[in-house]
Structure 1
Amino acid sequence: MAASRLGILLLSTTAPERIGQMSARCEDLGFDEVWLAEDYFFYGGFNAAAQALAATGRIRVGLGVISCVARHPAATAMEIASLERSFPGRLLPGIGHGVPAWVAQMGLTPKSPMRALTEAVTGIRTLLTSSEPFTTEGEYFTFRDVALFHPPGGEVPLYLGVIGAKGCELAGRIADGNVLSVLAPTEYVTWARDLGQRGMAAAGRSGTFSVPTYVLTAVDEDRDRARRAVRESLAFYLDAIGPTPLTGAIGINDTVAELAAGGFAALVDGMPDEWVDRLAICGTPDEVAKRIEQYWAAGADSVVLSPQPADTVGSQLELIAAEVLPRLSR
């Protein structure tokens, strides 16, 4: 896949019946990718990906990410293979831990999330690449003479969706890329990509390590209005996940913790404008185009825009296509 791609994230609040239509519109407007999120309990990831793929002919469709414990890896491999055969070369599947609260609601919390993720992804790759029946007894997943009746016709890239240093390196050892969460500044993108490449080298693997990066986005001729459009979404995520390596990459974890102690409202009111500028892509069309190129330069081969606020996605898509895409230097 070529570098410097631009995608759109269709949030989990998108009605399932609109996914095909919106994906087709993204393709018509000139975007390279559509990404979907299997957030529990909104729309189903594989169903949504099938709708997006069926409604389009060129655009790649990313699924970032499904929980490794929500389905048995053999069933996940079967779903991936079916979509790859139906829409060759256009599916970008991602696998992660899953949001802990949602996983706990299903009683699926593993004692060792990293072990569960490793077993799942290793099993999925084995089934996608080998025609021989696969048998193994893992700590979390068992395979007994499992083989896909309809294996994929070509190679399918597998992505992780992890944040910490160990996870980022693991992504390079067992996957082809890492889907980076919203709140990732450019400094984190470079750090995560370097760790992934280090993991690939340690595992003796060759190829390019991909880091598609989700970024909250708002475009407006009024820069302050664009900032306001992403501010509450940033506060929501900071309140939900607190200090992480994402925010640690720009040295704000202590302040994030202090503000988060006061809850969402404290984050909205106390968040410096600098955070908005570094954790999101917002501003005038010229400013947004420059920020996208900064993410590409930092190593994000795909920048996946998440238009904000969510109820303005349609108009934001049109504005980005008309005013931002022509300003990009690719």
Structure 2
Amino acid sequence: MNGEPTFSVRIGSSSGAQEIVDRAVFAEQVGFDQVWTGNDIFGSPGLVYLAAIAMRTSRIRFGSGVMDPVSLHPAQIAAYASGLQELSGDRFLLGLGAGSEVFFSWAGIETASPVRRTREAVVAIRELVNGRSPAGVPGAGDGWTEQAVLKRPRPVPIYVGAMGPRMIEMTGRYADGALPLCLPPSHVFHVMDQLKVGAEKAGRRVADLDVAACTWVSIADDRAIARRLLATHIAEYSGSLSTAALEQNGFDPAEFARTQALVLEGREEDAIASVTDDMMRLGIAGGVADVIDQCGALLDAGVRHISFGPPMGPDTVESTRLLGEKVLPVLRAELSHHH
């Protein structure tokens, strides 16, 4: 495999604007390559955060994880993306996703199929940010005219937040990068296989895409505290993980059902205690050495980009510091040593 690995951190979106921007600045200081923030309709105003991050950082690349082409028109997304590129000296990464049907229903928004609307947005936005009209371009959707050209276009890499096989295949065919949620981290290898199918249809290679293995990581000086935090997170999500995906990755769905039953009974402590060591494979957790081992195994197996995400640790700032100062340098050194 070629080149340096990429390490990014997902800094969430549930905090206020100042805190999110401070987290991005800190991620840059401790050595991350990229930082991603959330952007849901009815969620945080991610666009505001991104503009502020552009102004307050100088090196780190930063992305929207993710904008949807339903509540924001693709032409608007292209204009905002070009503007963020201009503002930041070309450090912006556009993360796109289908968006949530649940959130859209709150606003009475009707939608086309998730894969189709996302693909049309990727194709149209790429034309727009490169100064062209999407009119007549295969896959860009109907209705565009020759006048559909941006005033200040600026090229931007387009990533897709993808979960299902059809969305992943589409990503391999059309996008520059992928943001798959990898639960467990080794799920990235299934994703790579699906991306390859799409990439080959377009005469491309998966190696040309930046595939961010988005994992749940919990790190603390005290490994027991880090593990408990991940166990709490797993218990919380035990009912929302797809049975098929669990089986595909060698988990026993009955264990998750048991934990979910305890959650529903309001027995939080019992639910956390019921999370088995096998279920803990969903994420990466422990002290610095544990996290280095688990990430090192992924890099050895060919992963080129690890994206560290919530729950991160009991103290987000401290966890970010541990990752940036203690974990990343070791992983980078190990990789350059291997090659």
Alignment TM class, shorter chain as reference = 0.7 to 0.9
Greater shift, 283-292 or 14-23, is seen at 14-23
1:174 alignment counterpart:
174
The CA RMSD measured in Å over matched residues stands at 2.7
Distance change in 2, residues 1:260/1:98 (3 Å):
farther
1:8 alignment counterpart:
9
What is the Cα deviation at residue 325 of structure 1?
Answer: 2.9
Deviations 1:68-97 (A, max 9, x none): 212111111111111112223311111111
- Structure 1: where are the runs of 5+ without partners? none
Match status 1:61 vs 2:62: yes
**Aligned positions of 1:97-246 closer than 5 A:** 97-132=98-133, 134=135, 142-144=143-145, 145-152=147-154, 155-181=155-181, 183-205=182-204, 208-239=208-239, 241-243=240-242, 246=245
Deviations 1:113-170 (A, max 9, x none): 2222222222111212243473689997632321011010xx4211111111111111
Give the letter aligned to residue 252 of structure 1: F
Which among 309, 318, 325 is matched to residue 306 of structure 1?
Answer: 309
Deviations 1:181-230 (A, max 9, x none): 2x522331011122112211112235612211222222234332211011
Distance in 2 (CA, whole Å) between partners of 1:47 and 1:141 is 30
Deviations 1:51-80 (A, max 9, x none): 112111111112111122121111111111
For these two proteins, the number of residue pairs brought into alignment is 325
Distance change in 2, residues 1:290/1:132 (3 Å):
same
Distance in 1 (CA, whole Å) between partners of 2:46 and 2:96 is 11
Distance change in 2, residues 1:263/1:53 (3 Å):
farther
Distance change in 2, residues 1:308/1:186 (3 Å):
closer
Distance in 1 (CA, whole Å) between partners of 2:166 and 2:287 is 37
Secondary structure of 1:217 counterpart? strand
Give the letter aligned to residue 194 of structure 1: D
Match status 1:292 vs 2:295: yes
Distance change in 2, residues 1:216/1:52 (3 Å):
same
Any conservation in 2 of the 1:96–1:162 contact (CA below 8 Å)? yes
TM-score w.r.t. length of structure 2 = 0.85
Secondary structure of 1:143 counterpart? coil
Match status 1:83 vs 2:84: yes
Runs of 4+ in 1 over 4 A off after TM superposition: 135-141
Any conservation in 2 of the 1:160–1:178 contact (CA below 8 Å)? yes
Distance in 2 (CA, whole Å) between partners of 1:244 and 1:158 is 30
Any conservation in 1 of the 2:238–2:260 contact (CA below 8 Å)? no
Greater shift, 89-98 or 305-314, is seen at 305-314
Any conservation in 2 of the 1:243–1:257 contact (CA below 8 Å)? no
Secondary structure of 1:70 counterpart? coil
Distance in 1 (CA, whole Å) between partners of 2:237 and 2:68 is 19
Any conservation in 2 of the 1:136–1:143 contact (CA below 8 Å)? no
Match status 1:275 vs 2:294: no
Identity fraction in percent: 26
Give the letter aligned to residue 272 of structure 1: T
- Structure 2: where are the runs of 5+ without partners? none
